[in-house]
Structure 1
């Protein structure tokens, strides 16, 4: 640990990144300077100085005596979405809203990013359960229902995931490639993916893919909630219906400028 009186030789950029990472779930609401200094293991004077630099650049903004993440950082974050994914999100948001209205549970819209899932949208249910999913965040696909629903219908991504080390998050996480391959095969057969405490204990999720004209998934929709009350059978039926409706709004012709669409999304959207 760095003490207040010890010299901190970290470069300014290291300190700035450390501070930004320390906002955590307080990024939208704000957090005080003393608390940020404690989290980042910086002196309070250094924290003030780095925050002032970040504020001048629009990366953070002041809220009373606290600081929160600024608009410029959110704008930079938007660039992680390829144009195809942003268009996809806009097309499918109404169906996510329909899914929320039917279930009143937390619902997600996600797409594949290599062997991870990236969450494009999330609507919180009335009975929230702590969850690691955040809009714009990436999580390994093998331990989430949305991820397994997508891997099951994408042979290239499935093979890449099975060939890579599978990280364990809980004692229920599938880390054996043979077991994962077996489960993905079952998902293709049943058309539904279920995850019970594989990313976080006590949290369960059920998901289905939204299949593009090419027969590959372009996204997945899911419903999540507490393991002891999530009604998988009822939600599965609702998910299948909404995903089927969502697939009908996907474009059926190949786009002119293929440079603006990620290869996986472009392939799946192409007729």
Structure 2
């Protein structure tokens, strides 16, 4: 949406002196109102109802968003447009796709060795970003999804990456640790102690800290110069999976993956 369009929309409001930020709020309210129908499409009246806007205002904003390819028409309905996909792809570092491509074969090796749900993740601010995930027919309920983010302090991949990041954990995630379950670590001192333990043992655990009933073991993957780049994890249902049993396979795969990632980064740099 252009600056002039925002200004026009603001002036066309209720006359209450709303500025351009109010127009952005309206546009964002509409975009987040699509929900699960972002691809199939939603009608103007329903979008207006969900976003708390009048139908005429919703129609006007949707027209501006359509001209900028943020939404597109599907008959008389609207759905999210291609420009949002393009913008979303720029949120994350471009090297993540390279990391995913290099490490996915090793993620497959980890799945073959454990037959449990396995993840590949990187740090993104205070969260972990899942860039790949493999699972079999016996899946487990998990907060992870490819492209999704979860607070780092309550996941095995996140704690493994925090432990080897070389930065103080509070610099990365702050001291206010949100609880996902009753077992989530919310005390920064306790988290520091656990990160120190991870550095001694080389593996991290999630003991029902991100979701009740889900347990996980994670290990870091390093790149050139032994810099932590990503992490693998193996997760399963607490009633039928012991994370420690996956440790040997996890360590073996992390070492092999680290060698391959380092070699690929050196090759790219030369």
TM-score band by shorter chain is 0.7 to 0.9
CA contact (8 A) 1:107 1:125 kept: no
The size of the alignment, in residue pairs, is 251
Change (3 A) 1:207 1:43: farther
Partner of 1:146: 157
CA contact (8 A) 2:217 2:244 kept: no
Unaligned runs of 5+ in 2: 1-13
> Residue 234 in 1 paired to residue 245 in 2?
yes
- Please say which of residues 166-175 and 57-66 is displaced more in the overlay: 57-66
Equivalent residues in 2 for 1:198-213 (5 A)? 198-213=209-224
- Residues of 1 paired with 2:175 and 2:52: CA distance? 34
Change (3 A) 1:84 1:157: farther
Rg bigger for which structure? 2
Poorly superposed stretches of 4+, deviation over 6 Å? 7-10
- Please say which of residues 150-159 and 180-189 is displaced more in the overlay: 150-159
Residue 260 of structure 2 aligns to a residue whose secondary structure is coil
- Residues of 2 paired with 1:105 and 1:19: CA distance? 39
Change (3 A) 1:62 1:119: farther
Q: Deviations over 1:108-156 (max 9, x none)?
A: 2111233322222234543444443343343321111110010111221
> Residue 77 in 1 paired to residue 103 in 2?
no
Q: Deviations over 1:212-261 (max 9, x none)?
A: 2423311001233433333413333332222222112123539659xxxx
- Residues of 1 paired with 2:112 and 2:62: CA distance? 41
- In the alignment, which of 100, 120, 125 is matched to residue 114 of structure 1? 125
Deviation of 1:159 (Å):
5.0
- Residues of 2 paired with 1:239 and 1:140: CA distance? 22
- Residues of 2 paired with 1:30 and 1:107: CA distance? 31
> Residue 180 in 1 paired to residue 198 in 2?
no
CA contact (8 A) 1:142 1:161 kept: no
Residue 156 of structure 1 aligns to a residue whose secondary structure is coil
Q: Deviations over 1:7-52 (max 9, x none)?
A: 697834222212333444554x535336544443334554454444
User: Please, what is the CA RMSD of the aligned residues?
Assistant: 3.3
Change (3 A) 1:256 1:247: closer
- In the alignment, which of 155, 176, 180 is matched to residue 165 of structure 1? 176
- Residues of 1 paired with 2:229 and 2:32: CA distance? 30
- Residues of 2 paired with 1:30 and 1:43: CA distance? 22
Q: Deviations over 1:163-205 (max 9, x none)?
A: 5322222221111112111211222222221213322323333
- Residues of 2 paired with 1:35 and 1:124: CA distance? 37
Change (3 A) 1:189 1:77: same
- Please say which of residues 107-116 and 42-51 is displaced more in the overlay: 42-51
> Residue 20 in 1 paired to residue 31 in 2?
yes
Residue 214 of structure 1 aligns to a residue whose secondary structure is helix
Relative to the length of structure 2, the TM-score reads: 0.75
Partner of 1:32: 42
- In the alignment, which of 176, 201, 205 is matched to residue 194 of structure 1? 205
CA contact (8 A) 1:162 1:181 kept: no
